């Protein structure tokens, strides 16, 4: 069984890979924006799960960014400032990946998702490290 430190490291590593997957796509004129948004949501979810482990707060399997931030708020009230903005990414977790819901976010939306993901990354890493 992995230690807390190892779990945190692994969640962060996976989150960083999601951002690495999203970033280059932003440079293409015909960018796959749903992919960018999905990877940004995944990155935020994983950074928050790493932070929850760091805070010693348990969580269940969820893609709900707002729910994860609410759990963090029990120990870290400051994180509330990101809640409304970051929770916008929740919609990119599941539905955007399936053909039943054909939705291609505009490039501005994908860029905003990336900015939000970087904000959460910076916040979490500054708290953990």
What confidence tens digit (pLDDT) does each residue in 94-120 have? 776 666 666 789 999 999 999 999 999
Closest of 87, 85, 80 to residue 65, by C-alpha: 87
Closest of 110, 99, 118 to residue 15, by C-alpha: 118
What confidence tens digit (pLDDT) does each residue in 33-85 have? 999 999 999 999 999 999 999 999 999 999 999 999 999 999 999 999 999 99
Residue where the block lists tokens 């970051």: 86
Map out the domains of the chain as residue ranges. Answer: 4-128
The residues, any chain, with a CB within 8 Å of residue 71's CB and separated by 6 or more, are: 52, 57, 59
pTM of the model: 0.94
**Are 57 and 36 within 8 A, CB to CB?**
no
According to DSSP, residue 101 is labeled S
Instruction: Pick one of 1.20.120.330, 3.40.50.1370, 3.30.2310.20, 1.10.10.10 as the CATH number of 4-128.
Output: 1.20.120.330
According to DSSP, residue 89 is labeled G
């Amino acid at each position: 069984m992995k230690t807390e430190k190892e779990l945190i490291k692994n969640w962060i590593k996976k989150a960083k890979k999601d951002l690495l997957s999203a970033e280059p796509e932003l440079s293409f004129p015909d960018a796959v924006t749903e992919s960018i948004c999905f990877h940004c949501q995944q990155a935020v979810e994983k950074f928050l799960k790493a932070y929850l482990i760091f805070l010693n707060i348990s969580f269940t399997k969820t893609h709900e960014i707002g729910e994860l931030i609410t759990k963090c708020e029990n120990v870290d009230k400051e994180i509330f400032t990101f809640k409304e903005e970051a929770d916008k990414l929740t919609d990119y977790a599941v539905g955007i990946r399936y053909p039943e819901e054909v939705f291609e976010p505009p490039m501005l939306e994908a860029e905003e998702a990336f900015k939000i993901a970087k904000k959460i990354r910076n916040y979490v890493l500054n708290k953990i490290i």
